[in-house]
């Protein structure tokens, strides 16, 4: 679903005519034909022609839309929207995504798409919202343990640490570094002398301030446990080697900045619904019988559903 919605960000590509009449079949999905004209109706060519890459991209969207419509008809009932609802949603997309003072015509032209395409994307967004609402009652509520874990992750993500480190290749070398620091040598001087981290050694081992989640887990945990302004007495082993750590600053979020349990539960439920939709749709994609005419490309489902344009001129 997100792959479909992202189509509005498409930029116009280099131009080399696809050719072909509007009634020519470009692909067939479970017995349903998609014509060249149906694909071209979504594209606003910048200089009167359409590149094979751009045509393949929009053909891929058409294939996915046919698969989605069939999957919806099989699983859900009465999931229909009026022309007025679709047009209103198209208006919302335009208002949300347009640049300042950008007209509707400029908005579409800049993205290389047509009103037909915008309305299709609007319909897809309405479908997505409706499906999420219907599935919300089918997924299991998150457990208290899951909520607590997510709350801790949120707190960590909102925490900022400023840390320096000295990276060496062995436990023995790290212990020697600790001994030197405990004897009074300056952290920055020792880091410049022995640290094997080329990105920080010359700067005295100083790393950019940021959330602990930016580091590998053992190092991230150490940045949360280490006393401020003192060398952490534990040697930290990661895939990069052995670290001696010094946290110079740690700023934790205010309680009001951390999501409430109710907010976290809502987020986890929404993520579960999203995962259910993704699994359902990808299963439909994999089961679909799709044939693309050779001169328009080749259909693939991995690593993502798309039409690979034909090679050569």
Residue with tokens 């920055």: 188
| Mean pLDDT confidence for 35-47 | 87
Average pLDDT over the chain, rounded to whole? 89
**Domain boundary residue, one of 251, 281, 298:** 251
| Mean pLDDT confidence for 90-113 | 93
What residues contact 136, with CB distance under 8 A and at least 6 apart? 269, 273
Tell me which H or E stretch contains 250: strand 241-251
Residue 231 gets which letter from DSSP? Answer: B
Work out the angle at residue 63's Cα, subtended by the Cα atoms of residues 285 and 117, and round it to the nearest 5 degrees: 130
When pLDDT is cut at 50, 70 and 90, the band that residue 313 belongs to is: low
Residue 192, strand partner residues: none
Q: What distances in angstroms separate CA 117 from CA 13, 40, 44, 56, 62, one per listed residue?
A: 17, 10, 10, 15, 10
Q: What is the pLDDT of residue 23?
A: 87
CA distance 107 to 178: 60
The domain tally of the chain equals: 2
Taking only the tens place, the pLDDT of each residue in 72-81 is 988 887 788 9
Same domain, 116 and 82: yes
Count Cα neighbours of 136 within 13 Å in the Cβ-side half-sphere: 11
Give yes or no for residue 18 having a pLDDT over 70.
no
**Domain boundary residue, one of 251, 277, 297:** 251
Task: Decide if 104 is inside a domain.
Answer: yes
Task: Decide if 151 is inside a domain.
Answer: no
Asked whether 150 and 268 are in contact (CB, 8 A), the reply is yes
Taking only the tens place, the pLDDT of each residue in 265-274 is 999 999 999 9
Lowest mean pLDDT among 15-24, 197-206, 249-258, 290-299: 15-24
When pLDDT is cut at 50, 70 and 90, the band that residue 47 belongs to is: low
Same domain, 267 and 247: no
Same domain, 275 and 132: yes
Tell me which H or E stretch contains 91: helix 83-97
Same domain, 48 and 116: yes
Same domain, 279 and 136: yes
Task: Decide if 63 is inside a domain.
Answer: yes
Is beta strand 290-292 parallel, antiparallel or unpaired with respect to 298-300?
A: unpaired
Give yes or no for residue 98 having a pLDDT over 50.
yes
Which percentage of the chain shows pLDDT scores above 90? 75
- Give the total residue count for the chain: 313
Residue 30 gets which letter from DSSP? Answer: T
Strand order in the sheet with 241-251: 160-168, 241-251, 236-238
φ/ψ (deg, to 5) at 69: -60, -40
**Domain boundary residue, one of 251, 276, 295:** 251
Which percentage of the chain shows pLDDT scores above 70? 92
Instruction: Determine the structural domain holding residue 178 and report its residue range.
Output: 160-251
Task: Decide if 205 is inside a domain.
Answer: yes
**Counts for the chain of helices (H) and strands (E), in that order:** 11, 8
Q: What is the pLDDT of residue 101?
A: 92
Same domain, 126 and 273: yes
Give yes or no for residue 15 having a pLDDT over 70.
no
Give yes or no for residue 7 having a pLDDT over 60.
no
Same domain, 99 and 241: no
Residue with tokens 């395409």: 117
Task: Decide if 152 is inside a domain.
Answer: no
Q: What is the CATH number of the domain that holds 233?
A: 3.10.50.40
Residue with tokens 């919302």: 92
Asked whether 307 and 59 are in contact (CB, 8 A), the reply is yes
Same domain, 120 and 41: yes
Same domain, 50 and 74: yes
Same domain, 39 and 90: yes
Asked whether 258 and 154 are in contact (CB, 8 A), the reply is yes
Lowest mean pLDDT among 177-186, 248-257, 280-289: 248-257
Same domain, 131 and 274: yes
Task: Decide if 155 is inside a domain.
Answer: no
What six digits make up the tokens of 14?
Answer: 């280099």
Task: Decide if 313 is inside a domain.
Answer: no
Task: Decide if 146 is inside a domain.
Answer: no
CA distance 53 to 60: 11
| Mean pLDDT confidence for 171-189 | 96
Asked whether 205 and 154 are in contact (CB, 8 A), the reply is no
Q: What is the CATH number of the domain that holds 129?
A: 1.10.4030
In this predicted model, which residue has the larger pLDDT, 47 or 275?
275
Same domain, 200 and 175: yes
């Amino acid at each position: 679903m997100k792959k479909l919605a992202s189509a509005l960000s498409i930029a116009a590509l280099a131009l080399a005519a696809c050719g072909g009449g509007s009634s020519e079949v470009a692909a067939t999905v479970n017995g349903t034909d998609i014509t060249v004209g149906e694909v071209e109706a979504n594209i606003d060519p910048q200089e009167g022609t359409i590149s094979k890459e751009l045509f393949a991209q929009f053909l891929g969207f058409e294939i996915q839309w046919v698969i989605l419509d069939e999957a919806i008809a099989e699983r859900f009932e009465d999931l229909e929207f009026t022309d007025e609802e679709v047009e209103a949603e198209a208006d919302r997309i335009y208002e949300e995504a347009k640049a300042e003072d950008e007209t509707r015509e400029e908005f579409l032209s800049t993205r290389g798409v047509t009103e037909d395409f915008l309305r299709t994307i609007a319909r897809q967004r309405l479908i997505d919202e409706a499906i999420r609402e219907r599935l919300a009652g089918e997924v299991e509520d998150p457990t208290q343990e899951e909520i607590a874990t997510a709350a801790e992750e949120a707190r960590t993500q909102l925490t900022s640490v400023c840390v320096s480190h000295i990276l060496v290749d062995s436990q023995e070398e790290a212990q020697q570094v600790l001994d030197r620091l405990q004897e009074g040598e300056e952290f920055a001087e020792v880091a410049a002398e022995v640290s094997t981290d080329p990105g920080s050694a010359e700067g005295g081992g100083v790393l950019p301030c940021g959330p602990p989640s930016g580091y590998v887990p053992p190092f991230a945990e150490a940045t949360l446990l280490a006393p401020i302004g003192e060398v952490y007495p534990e040697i930290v082993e990661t895939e990069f080697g052995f670290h001696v750590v010094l946290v110079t600053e740690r700023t934790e979020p205010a309680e009001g900045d951390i999501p409430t349990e109710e907010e976290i539960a809502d987020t986890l439920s929404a993520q579960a619904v999203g995962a259910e939709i993704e699994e359902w749709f990808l299963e439909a994609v994999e089961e679909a019988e799709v044939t693309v005419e050779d001169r328009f490309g080749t259909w693939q489902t991995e690593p993502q559903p798309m039409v690979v344009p034909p090679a050569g001129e």
